[in-house]
Amino acid sequence: MPVCVCVCVCVCVCHSGVWSVHQFQWLPCSFIDERVFLNKDNHTETRLIHREAILQFGQKGDAPVNRNAITFLITRSKLDLLQYVEGVEAEQLKCELHRYSTEGGYVRWPVLGAREYNHWFTCILRHSRGLFTITSFLRRPFDQPPPGGPDYQKWPPIPNREVLTTTVAMVIKTQTPSVKARLKFQQKLHCQFDVDHKGAKVTVEWHKQHHGERTKLFSYNRRTGQTQGSGVGLRAFAAGDASYTLASTMISSEGTYICSVSVNPLFARVDINLQIEEPPHVSLNVGPSLSLMEGNKRKIVCEANSYYPRDVEIIWHEQDPVVLGAPHPRSLENVILSYHRENRDMTFSLSGFFYLQAALRDSGKKFTCSVSHQSLKVPITKSFTLIVEGESQCNTRS
């Protein structure tokens, strides 16, 4: 059944936490459940099951807003998930829920009232226009002792109308899930995290992945105090800011940057895709006005230099002099494109040229080179006007 989004004003203050003001009370979500089983060859397989769910904010015992869906009820803790989406409308969020396996690592979560064993879930919130990605860990205390072996082998089934009372234990967020940067600019890749208890033994790492190669850029272990690499300010790190800064972007800076935060037994990551886009520098080999003698021939070149990535389009147009009304430009058919040339900085250059035979009937025509590239909102244009002189005109002047 379709789920409507409810938006309300919510102000709630208590000793254990504060809910945000002017925020939605719940969100429709997709719960991607997992069924792990052994196949006929005795190999472990996982079947993904998409289920309807609600992410609801409130307190223990609240009635579900949709009794026909699974409800993940988030109760107050030190971490307020709504704070991370402040100012965002519910309709702008995409919500996804998953089970989370600790792979057999069972550690008592060090907060007041925590039990020896918890069921864990991840909640991923994405802005519909790609402005941020947030992953939070939802902790659901469980009365039973830890199972022997990996937890995913004995996950209990969740009925369709179940209410799962949880708290937010850890959050990681990036406001730069996709970045387009120019060359030789400083670029900050945002990564923010928080944990629901003080003194958490956090490990933060940055990796870069490109064309199958993975490189470690930075790591910090709060337990040992050991730091490797650079690019992250440790002063800001104390406030949960683990952003990574590229001092000067290059073509080789392109790739996927991974910010990961781990607090045993949890491991979170956000991926940031960095793409270099450098607009072309466009020039002509003639000035704004070109004078030729009738019958003379001239090579006219439009050069697009130092752009990235490689795909670029060069089109030449000609336009008759304005007499009555606005003349329509026509595409030139005799344009020749050079091969893409790769420069030392790995940018590209391309030229589009044609040979112009001067005729008196063409005098006053305007020729325009238009260059399009994905880094440009509108094409770059460069133009010149042709002036053709006949022999009689030259003789008259002399």
Q: What is the pLDDT of residue 271?
A: 97
Same domain, 190 and 301: no
Q: What is the pLDDT of residue 7?
A: 35
Q: What is the pLDDT of residue 104?
A: 74
User: Of the candidates 385, 369, 358, 393, which has an alpha carbon nearest to the alpha carbon of residue 290?
Assistant: 385
Choose one of 212, 244, 276: the last residue of a domain: 276
Q: What is the pLDDT of residue 43?
A: 85
Sign of CA pseudo-dihedral 374, 378, 380, 382 = positive
Same domain, 301 and 256: no
pTM of the model: 0.84
The backbone region for 281, taken as left when phi is positive above 0, alpha when psi lies in -120 to 50, beta otherwise, is beta
Range of the domain at 66: 26-276
Interacting residues of 69 by C-beta distance below 8 A, sequence separation 6+: 3, 52, 53, 54, 160, 161
Same domain, 309 and 258: no
Choose one of 226, 249, 276: the last residue of a domain: 276
Decide if 379 is inside a domain: yes
Decide if 6 is inside a domain: no
Choose one of 245, 276, 307: the last residue of a domain: 276
Count: domains in the chain: 2
Reading the chain (398 residues) residue by residue, the pLDDT tens digits are 444 433 333 333 333 344 444 467 899 999 999 988 888 888 888 889 999 999 999 999 999 999 999 999 999 889 999 999 988 999 999 999 999 998 877 788 887 666 668 899 999 999 999 999 999 999 998 877 666 677 787 788 999 999 999 999 999 999 999 999 999 999 999 999 999 998 899 999 999 999 989 999 999 999 898 999 999 988 888 889 999 999 999 999 999 999 999 999 999 999 999 999 999 999 999 999 999 999 999 999 999 999 999 999 999 999 988 765 667 889 999 999 999 999 999 999 999 999 999 999 999 999 999 999 999 999 999 999 999 998 655 455 54
User: Of the candidates 261, 263, 122, 259, which has an alpha carbon nearest to the alpha carbon of residue 191?
Assistant: 259
Query: How many whole angstroms separate alpha carbon 191 and alpha carbon 233?
Result: 12
Same domain, 126 and 53: yes
Same domain, 342 and 375: yes
Domain CATH number, residue 234: 2.60.40.10
Same domain, 246 and 158: yes
Decide if 106 is inside a domain: yes
